[in-house]
Amino acid sequence: MNIGVLTSGGDSSGMNAAIRAITRTALHYGFDVFGIKQGYNGLLNDTIIELNRGSVANIIQRGGTILGTARSDEFETEQGMAQAKKTIDKHNINAVIVIGGDGTMRGAKIFSEKFKVKMIGLPGTIDNDLYGTDYTIGFDTAINSALDAVDRIRDTAASLERLFFIEVMGRYAGFIALAVGLAGGAEEVLIPETPTNIDALANKINDNIRKGKKSNIIIVSEGDEAGNAFAIAEKIKKCINEPYRVAVLGYIQRGGAPTANDRILASKLGFATVEALMQNIHNCMVGEINKKIVFTPFEETYTKKKNIDSDIYKIIKILSE
């Protein structure tokens, strides 16, 4: 069996660990492995390289992806997919492993059905919003990177007795914000899944100041329905008479050496993916739920809603009083 592997969409720390696990597991069983560069674009442009043990040496600790990644509008077209199929046939690739988020899984589903290609996915996104796994590869690293920044900002906030709005990634999901908010001792967390009441938030901040709190940290998910951190801060400014600062953490949440948790998850899922293909399991995403490997049909990964843990939201509310 010849196996192709690609990383698509936004990068996430742990992708390299997954590539390493896939490659070495496949080689162990006597398969050939081909790296497809720059996501689905690699299938369109025939940028295919053969991977061996040396190719994936000393990458488990590296962030990003050695294969590169991209989003491909052309791949979504009938013509683009037809070209991708020609590339797969040219290299005699029997199955393609894709590592990425919801867009990656959506592309894999359509391509596999239209052109009868065996596809199987790994959840690689910092947002942790894919249905079919407790955690996605890169999520743990992202929240630890964000948490480090929040801790540093807290020092300044306390020294200056200042209100800070800190924006984290999460356009459609608040998993990063919730985790960082709980671990960072935030006074409030604003996420897309729950409505934001500006008046109530302003009252809480004023109450905290009256109680003698020397700093107030508000974590804002970038996709909150009330706006981004700057927009929300401006709305709050009209309700309270306190100076504030805004910090947007941005892409620092994506990079950096993966945490132990992300390396372990990526290694387990990469190994499980090759073994699944050996059992003729495909056209699904491999995830981990309650420490067990599970297989979720591609379509369910992005059409079914992965709910936030409402208990965490409640805990943050109580602990910030």
130 DSSP 8-state letter: -
CA 117 to chain CA mean position, Å: 25
End-to-end CA distance of the chain: 58
Residue 253 annotated as binding? Answer: yes
211 is in an annotated binding site: yes
Residue 114 assigned ligand-binding role: no
The SS3 assignment for 190 reads strand
With CA atoms as reference, report the closest residue to 163 among 226, 242, 224: 242
186 annotated among ligand-binding-site residues? yes
Q: Is 169 annotated as a binding-site member?
A: yes
State how far the Cα of 235 lies from the Cα of 222, in Å rounded to an integer: 16
Q: What is the DSSP letter of 225?
A: T
Q: Is 254 annotated among the ligand-binding residues? A: yes
**Is 129 known as a binding-site position?**
no
223 is in an annotated binding site: no
221 is in an annotated binding site: no
Distance CA 121, CA 100 (A): 8
DSSP state of 137: B
Told to judge if 129 belongs to the known catalytic residues of this protein, a careful annotator would answer: no
171 has binding-site annotation: yes
| 177 marked as binding residue | no
The answer to whether 134 is a known ligand-binding residue is no
Residue among 11, 127, 224, 262 flagged as catalytic: 127
* Range list of H helices, the chain: 15-28, 41-45, 78-90, 102-115, 139-160, 175-183, 198-210, 229-237, 260-278, 298-303, 310-319
Estimate to the nearest angstrom the gap between the alpha carbon of 179 and the chain centroid: 13
Q: Is 170 known as a binding-site position?
A: yes
Ligand-binding annotation for 23, yes or no, is yes
**Residue 263 counted as an annotated binding residue:** no
Contact 122, 17 (CB under 8 A): no
Beta-carbon contacts of 225 under 8 Å, excluding residues fewer than 6 positions away, are 192, 195, 196
Contact 312, 193 (CB under 8 A): no
Structure tokens at 37: 């560069």
**Number of helices followed by number of strands (H, E) in the chain:** 11, 11
Annotated binding-site members for Mg(2+): 102
Which of the residues are catalytic? Answer: 127
Annotated binding site: 10, 20-24, 71-72, 101-104, 125-127, 154, 162, 169-171, 185-187, 211, 213-215, 222, 245, 251-254
Binding residues for substrate: 125-127, 162, 169-171, 222, 245, 251-254
Q: Which segments are annotated as binding site for ADP?
A: 20-24, 154, 185-187, 211, 213-215
Binding site members for ATP: 10, 71-72, 101-104
